[in-house]
Amino acid sequence: MGEEGQGDMVVSATNPVTWEEIELSESYLVSGMFEEAGTLASSILTRINMYKHVENRGEILLHDMMTSAGMVLVQSWKESGRTSNLLGDIENYFGSVVAIPIQVILTGACVQVASGHSSGVRAFLENFLSKWKFDDEKHYAVPLPAAEKTDLELCNGCPKLEVDEYLEI
């Protein structure tokens, strides 16, 4: 992998995820090729989750890629009728409930409820919200285990939510 274009790839030099792949999954979705869109989006999310600790090229880029691929996955599953346990299935691709982007959670919850599979949605959202602790005047954060960090305010690497995002969920 050369110097140019590094900002467009995330994860690892041996198995990068590119925006071109995400755009292809979106094209499949728009073209009505829902199985192809879902398969590619799930592959993208699996690779990001597997390799994100090996080489990270930026939290914002990684989050944007996870959000885009997650939205394709939710929409393709909706169109394919795979909504009975949508949120639980999505969690498996992200590795933990707190790693799922807010937009993906909100859309997934709405799709699951709208498709008549509301059981489990409330418990999922309550589980998600229970992981977050009020950090300061503006954020909720997921604290690291006590062995790693004891002061939330100093936890720069912790996932954070704006208060309005927390309330939206």
Query: Domain ranges in the chain?
Result: 6-95
| DSSP secondary structure code for residue 146 in this structure | T
Q: What is the mean pLDDT of residues 142-155?
A: 51
- Give me the amino acid identity at 152: L
CA pair distance 108, 79, nearest whole angstrom = 12
Instruction: For residue 118, give the 3-state DSSP assignment.
Output: coil
Q: Quick check: 136 pLDDT over 90?
A: no
pLDDT tens figures, 99-116: 899 999 999 999 999 999
Q: What is the mean pLDDT of residues 69-96?
A: 95
**Both tokens assigned to 132:** 């977050």
CA pair distance 51, 21, nearest whole angstrom = 16
